[in-house]
Amino acid sequence: MSTYQDSYCDTTTDLSFIEPYLGEYDHKRVLASNWVESGTSNLYYLHNSSDVSGQLYKDGAEQTKVTDTPNANNEFEYDSGSDRLQFFMGGLSVSAMNSTMFESSRDWNDLKTEAVKRASDFIRSYLPFPIYKNKGIGTSDAVGNDYPEIIVRSTAVMAVESLIRPYDVEKADLIKNQAINEQNTGWLDMLRTGQITLYSSESEQKYKGILKDVSVNANTTGGILDVKGTASTQWDSIKILISTGGTITAGSANTTVKYSTYTRNEKGLKMNQDVSEDVIDCGWQPAGHNMWIRFAAGLYTTNDEYELEVSGVLDQSFTPIKSVRTSRF
C-alpha cells in the first residue's frame, strides 16, 4: 500500500530531545545459551530461539542476515517453520558460542521509524483539524522544522513513550502525560480545546495581529511596541517599512523619521501602498485594514521592514473552551 502521509518528526534529534538515553530501550532480547552443532563445520543451531527475523547481535555487533544456509562468518538465518536460528562462525566451539552474548531485535532505525509513523498517525486521528506544513517565506518555526514545533514535539513524545513502555510503564506514562493526560493539560489536549493554536489556523493570534521583524538593521534600537484593531479583511500580510530613518527621542519633535505600509491587492501581497511617508509620532498610527500600530522611541534605519499578519476571520474551533462552575443550594 502507498501513502501520502508524512511523519511529523525525525528519528534522531527530535526523539533524543525527549529522552537522551533512548538507545537503552532498543528492544534487544537476550537469546538462550543453548547452541548445538549442526553437523556442518562451523554452522551452529539454536532451537526454540523465538522470532529472530529482524536483526541478530553478537556481543552488541550486528550480524549479516541471509535467506539461505549461512556459509560465511557472522551470517545468520532464521527458519520460522522450525523456530530455529542458524549461525556460521569459524574458529569457535559450542562452548565458546554459549559463552557469547547473542541478542535479537528489529533494526533500531526501523523500530524508531515505525514508532514515529504510528505516533504521527495517532495525532492525525486525535486532533479534530488538519495539520499543514510550514510552507513559504517567513512561516517556518525558529528551529526550522517542516511542521509546527508543538506537533513535532508531541509526535516525539508519543513515539518515545511507546518505545519505553515495554521496559518502564511508569516512565512511559510520565512522558506521555506531556502530550495527553486525564487532566486535559497535555499539549495535544490543549490543541483540541483551542488553548494552544497552530500558525496555520485562523486563531485569536492572527485576529489580533502577528508582528514579525523581516529585515531590521543591527543598529536599530526602535521598533513596533504594540498592535490593536480588528482587521477589515479576511487575511493579509501587511508590509511596514521605515521609509526615512533617523532617531526619535522623547521630549524632542520628530519631523524626519517616517514609515509607509503596503497591503494586498488583486496582483499580490504588499502591492498597494496604504500609508505613505507618515511621520512617526509614537502614538497609535494606521497600518491598513483597520489595524493600528505604535512605534517606540529610538534609532531607525531606512528600509527597516516589519510584517503584520492579520485575519478578520476567527475560527471558532480554535477559540479556547471556557467553563463555569455552578452550585445549587
What CA–CA distance (Å, rounded) separates 248 from 272? 27
Identify whether residues 98 and 117 lie together within a single domain: no
Identify whether residues 126 and 90 lie together within a single domain. no
318 domain residue, yes or no: no
CB count within 10 Å of CB 167 equals 12
Number of domains observed in the structure of the chain: 3
Same domain, 126 and 189: yes
How far apart (Å, rounded) are the C-alpha atoms in residues 298 and 243?
15
Looking at 74, 105, 136, the residue that finishes a domain is 105
Whether residue 214 sits in one domain with residue 303: yes
What's the rounded Cα separation, in Å, for the pair 151 and 73?
Answer: 45
What's the pLDDT score for residue 208? Answer: 80
In a domain? residue 2 = no
Whether residue 219 is found in the same domain as residue 299: yes
Q: What share of the chain is helix, strand, coil (3-state, %, to 5)?
A: 20, 30, 50
Query: Do 98 and 143 belong to one domain?
Result: no
Q: What are the b/e assignments for 9-30, b being 16+ CB within 10 Å?
A: bbbeebbebbbeebeebbebee
Residue 155, exposed/middle/buried by CB under 10 A (0-12, 13-18, 19+)?
Answer: buried
Which pLDDT score, from 0 to 100, does residue 140 have?
A: 66
pTM equals 0.65
Dist CA 151 CA 197 (whole Å): 11
**What's the pLDDT score for residue 303?**
97
Within a domain: residue 75?
Answer: yes
- The answer on 185 and 163 residing in a single domain is yes
Q: Is 61 among the domain residues?
A: yes
Contact 244, 279 (CB under 8 A): no
Query: Is 319 contained in some domain?
Result: no
Q: Using the structure block, give the residue that is written with the C-alpha cell 566451539.
A: 93
- Tell me the C-alpha distance between 269 and 264, whole Å: 4
Task: Single out the residue in 193, 218, 246 at which a domain terminates.
Answer: 193
**Rounded CA separation 83/229 (Å):** 71
**Is residue 22 included in any domain, yes or no?**
no
Q: Are residues 306 and 209 in the same domain?
A: yes
Give residue 324's pLDDT: 52
Instruction: Write down the pLDDT at residue 314.
Output: 67
Are 116 and 93 members of one domain? Answer: no
Is 1 within a domain?
A: no
Domain holding 243, by residue range, is: 204-310
- 305 domain residue, yes or no: yes
pLDDT, one tens digit for every residue, the chain (329 residues) = 556 688 999 999 999 999 999 999 988 999 999 999 999 999 999 999 999 988 999 999 999 999 999 999 999 999 999 999 999 999 999 999 999 999 999 888 999 999 999 999 999 999 988 888 876 666 667 788 888 999 999 999 999 999 999 999 999 999 999 999 999 999 999 999 888 877 655 455 666 888 889 999 999 999 999 999 989 999 999 999 999 999 999 999 999 999 999 999 999 999 999 999 999 999 999 999 999 999 999 999 999 999 998 888 766 554 445 555 566 76
Which residues neighbour 92 within 8 Å (Cβ) at sequence distance 6 or greater?
A: 42, 44, 100
CA distance 162 to 176: 9
pLDDT of residue 270: 94
